[in-house]
Amino acid sequence: MQGSPEVAVLRLGHRPGRDERMTTHVGLTARALGADCVLFERTAAGAEETAAEVTDRFGGPFEAQVTDSPGTVLREWEGAICHLTMYGLPIEDVETEIRTTHRENPLLVVVGAEKVAFSVYERADWNLGVTNQPHSEVAALAVFLDRLFEGRELSREWKNASRRVVPETTGKTVESVEE
């Protein structure tokens, strides 16, 4: 969001053939709910392409990238790291601390696809659970970003959009944006 340091989402892991939709939805959720960028592993290059195409059509700013070394991203991140896991601390116990830290520091949000190495838990400043019940990583990311931005991301202005969804009670209308 404007005025805050960067929020990046790292999709850690990707099982081709199994995680295609979920990984793509991590990227789309990151974009729609206020993150500045998403980083995918090389095996998820299709998700990067989809996120970039959606940004081209529906606006940004948002960047989708592919990394060959997510471990290096984690090790070299200069800022705070929040790892989303159902085994973490309850969001309501640490969300104020995370927001306060984020005012001064970039934030990397780690979203796992498969079993996450213990080193990720050790590297994270917060291992955070939005619930300690089984749920999807997309749901965790959506709840986390909404809490981080306190709902401000929902009224975000999109720049350079060629298309926009028209809110309506029924129907599905997408229209071209006049320049």
pLDDT per residue of the chain (179 residues) written in tens, 0 to 9? 345 579 999 999 877 777 788 889 999 999 999 999 999 998 888 899 999 999 999 999 999 999 999 999 999 999 999 999 988 999 999 999 999 999 999 999 999 888 889 999 999 999 999 988 888 899 999 999 999 999 999 988 899 999 999 999 999 999 998 76
Domain assignment present for residue 2? The answer is no
Q: Tell me 60's DSSP state.
A: B
Q: Which domain holds residue 151?
A: 7-176
Domain assignment present for residue 84? The answer is yes
User: Number of folded domains in the chain?
Assistant: 1
pLDDT, position 179: 60
Quickly count: other Cβ atoms within 10 Å of residue 166's Cβ: 9
pLDDT, position 4: 57
Pairing relationship of beta strands 107-112 and 126-129 according to DSSP bridges: unpaired
Helical packing angle, 137-149 and 20-32, nearest 10°? 10
Domain assignment present for residue 1? The answer is no
